């Protein structure tokens, strides 16, 4: 068995091989296989290998998502309505349960902002603005909006974008848990703000189209009318695009008409048999009217 | 019928007979019109415009609850650049009018474009970890799901993803 120090040395060599042109990561795979199933120290080393290759553990992904979400909540806190928050979590959890990452600790919230938007953060954190929530007419539409955000998380769109845009050292620090040290807090705050920029610059347009197309499938899987998502887009499209509530959404997403067109073309009737799915408008209204 | 709220139309709105756009349009109300709000249903609000002698339903986002409506009208007249910028200007002058507290979503608060979660607000946000902990408390569980799914008549279907959209 290899000692821990020797492992670290090998890791350093491997890192050099990664950053050295002409040397591929094939050896790294072999090394990883050798480590697998050996001992605890080795599992720690495996984690480092994954980080070196740009892979992030689920725990780290959740920690990164928590930090970004705390930033979003700092910009706009949750609506003080327990019933509403539970309802959104119930709908979201059910939809997420139909996804390929149903093991994540999915968390949903409605924030006070009157802007019309929804945000997803790595690890399963999703927030919807009150402005968007109030545009919705039924549970199927809510499920569809959440399904779009869930799809971003399932496909790790934000994680990939952060890895691309943030400097390597800053990026890895985002996964470190927050401590009570003042200096560290300042540093973490800076990191969070750096990460939050993603929500104003937006994802690659192809990720948005992908999330749209996966959202309608997720909605159908969950027993809802998948066309409810197109209803939401149509509603948003009827709002003056210059209104301040839509600024961030419009800056970060493809034009609504392009999204509707792509959805209709790619769905191509294949989800029509699910269009009779429930919309649970009564249940949705009961929650809304209790506010 | 008892109106419990006063409101203001924030942009021209089509008024419908019921809380859905298929119910038929009964008229229009202009931005700046003062209305009484009766009921909220989903994304709709039932309003009454005394000025237009019209009752019907409009999209929730087209109407904001307000208090001290006369101040809003004054702001509209003062500012020729448009109704929304007028309100924003007013809010800067009288921040007490647009309360920024946690009860902002309950009655009596008008917020138009003032707290739209702008680019600047997101980029300069101070992390709120207490709020994050609160959010975690609302997480659903398998236990809650059973009654939620049953009550909602929901059935899971096996549906394949659309080709070209990943695994």
Q: Count up the domains in chain B and report the number.
A: 1
In a domain, B4, yes or no: yes
Strands across the sheet containing A107-111: A107-111, A125-129, A118-121
In a domain, B66, yes or no: yes
Task: Using pLDDT thresholds of 50, 70 and 90, give the confidence band for residue B110.
Answer: very low
In a domain, B137, yes or no: no
Each domain of chain A, given as residue ranges in start order, spans 4-52, 58-159+201-289
In a domain, B54, yes or no: yes
Closest CA to A174 of A154, A164, A189: A189
Task: Using pLDDT thresholds of 50, 70 and 90, give the confidence band for residue A96.
Answer: very high
Q: Where are the beta strands (DSSP E) in chain B?
A: 5-9, 13-16, 25-29, 34-41, 44-49, 54-59, 63-66
What are B35-94's pLDDT values in tens digits?
999 887 755 789 999 888 899 998 765 777 775 433 333 233 333 333 333 333 333 333
Cβ–Cβ below 8 Å for B122 and A72: yes
What pLDDT shows up at residue B11?
60
Average pLDDT, rounded, for chain B: 70
Which chain A residues in 37-56 lie under 8 Å from chain B, judged by CB atoms? none
What pLDDT shows up at residue A276?
77
- Give whichever of A22-26, B31-35, B73-77 has the largest mean pLDDT: B31-35
Task: Using pLDDT thresholds of 50, 70 and 90, give the confidence band for residue A39.
Answer: low
In a domain, B130, yes or no: no
Q: Å from B13 to nearest chain A CA?
A: 10
- Give whichever of A8-22, A31-45, A133-147, B9-23 has the largest mean pLDDT: A133-147
Nearest CA in chain B to A284: B42
CA A251, A157, A114: angle at the middle one, nearest 5?
A: 40
In a domain, B33, yes or no: yes
pLDDT of residue A86 exceeding 90, the answer is: yes
Determine contact: B133 vs chain A, CB below 8 A.
no
Determine contact: B96 vs chain A, CB below 8 A.
no
Identify the CATH number of the domain in which residue B82 sits: 2.30.30.40
* Inter-CA distances, A223 with A57, A94, A247, Å: 32, 10, 32
Nearest CA in chain B to A83: B138
Q: Which domain holds residue B38?
A: 1-117
Q: Å from B152 to nearest chain A CA?
A: 7
What are A161-198's pLDDT values in tens digits?
988 888 766 777 777 766 666 677 788 888 888 888 88
What pLDDT shows up at residue A37?
56
In a domain, B24, yes or no: yes
Under a CB-based contact definition with an 8 Å cutoff, are residues A215 and B153 in contact? no
- Please state the ipTM of this predicted complex: 0.80
A-chain residues within 8 Å CB-CB of B149?
A: 94
Determine contact: B162 vs chain A, CB below 8 A.
yes
Cβ–Cβ below 8 Å for A77 and B153: no
Closest CA to A219 of A231, A207, A208: A231
Nearest CA in chain B to A78: B131
Residue among B39, B117, B144 whose CB faces A75 most closely: B117
What pLDDT shows up at residue A48?
61
What pLDDT shows up at residue B72?
35
What pLDDT shows up at residue B54?
93
Cβ–Cβ below 8 Å for A113 and B116: yes
pLDDT of residue A15 exceeding 50, the answer is: no
């Amino acid at each position: 068995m290899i000692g821990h120090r020797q492992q670290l040395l090998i890791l350093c060599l491997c890192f050099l091989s990664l950053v050295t042109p002409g040397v591929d990561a094939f050896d790294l795979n072999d090394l990883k296989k050798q480590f697998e199933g050996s001992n605890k120290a080795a599992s720690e080393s495996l984690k480092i290998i994954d980080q070196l290759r740009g892979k992030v553990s689920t725990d780290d992904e959740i920690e990164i998502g928590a930090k970004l979400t705390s930033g979003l909540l700092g910009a706009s806190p949750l609506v003080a309505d327990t019933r509403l928050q539970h309802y959104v979590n119930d709908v979201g959890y059910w939809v997420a349960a139909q996804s390929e990452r149903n093991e994540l600790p999915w968390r949903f919230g409605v924030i006070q902002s009157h802007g019309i938007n929804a945000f997803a953060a790595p690890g399963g954190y999703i927030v919807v603005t009150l402005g968007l929530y109030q545009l919705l007419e039924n549970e199927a539409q809510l499920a569809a909006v959440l399904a779009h955000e869930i799809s971003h998380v399932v496909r790790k769109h934000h994680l990939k974008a952060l890895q691309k845009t943030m400097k390597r050292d800053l990026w890895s620090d985002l996964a470190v848990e927050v401590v009570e040290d003042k200096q560290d807090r300042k540093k973490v705050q800076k990191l969070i703000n750096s990460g939050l920029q993603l929500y104003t610059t937006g994802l690659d347009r192809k990720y948005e189209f992908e999330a749209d197309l996966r959202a309608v499938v997720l909605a159908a899987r969950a027993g809802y009318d998948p066309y409810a998502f197109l209803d939401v887009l149509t509603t948003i499209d009827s709002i003056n695009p210059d209104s301040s509530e839509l600024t961030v959404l419009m800056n970060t997403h493809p034009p609504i008409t392009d999204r509707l067109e792509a959805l209709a073309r790619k769905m191509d009737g294949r989800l029509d048999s699910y269009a009779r799915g429930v919309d649970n408008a009564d249940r949705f209204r009961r929650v809304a009217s209790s506010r | 019928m008892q109106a419990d709220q006063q409101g203001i139309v924030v942009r021209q709105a089509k008024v419908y007979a019921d809380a859905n756009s298929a119910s038929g349009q009964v008229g229009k109300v202009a931005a700046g019109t003062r209305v009484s709000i009766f009921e909220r249903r989903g994304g709709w609000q039932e309003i009454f415009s005394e000025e237009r002698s019209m009752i019907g339903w409009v999209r929730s986002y087209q109407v904001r609850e307000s208090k001290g409506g006369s101040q809003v009208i004054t702001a509209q007249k003062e500012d020729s650049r448009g109704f929304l910028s007028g309100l924003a200007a007013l809010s800067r002058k009288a921040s007490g009018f647009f309360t920024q507290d946690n009860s902002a979503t309950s009655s009596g608060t008008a917020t138009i474009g003032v707290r739209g979660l702008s680019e600047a607000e997101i980029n300069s946000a101070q992390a709120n970890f207490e709020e994050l902990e609160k959010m975690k408390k609302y997480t659903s569980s398998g236990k809650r799901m059973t009654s939620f799914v049953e009550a909602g008549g929901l059935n899971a279907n096996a549906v394949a993803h659309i080709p070209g959209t990943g695994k």
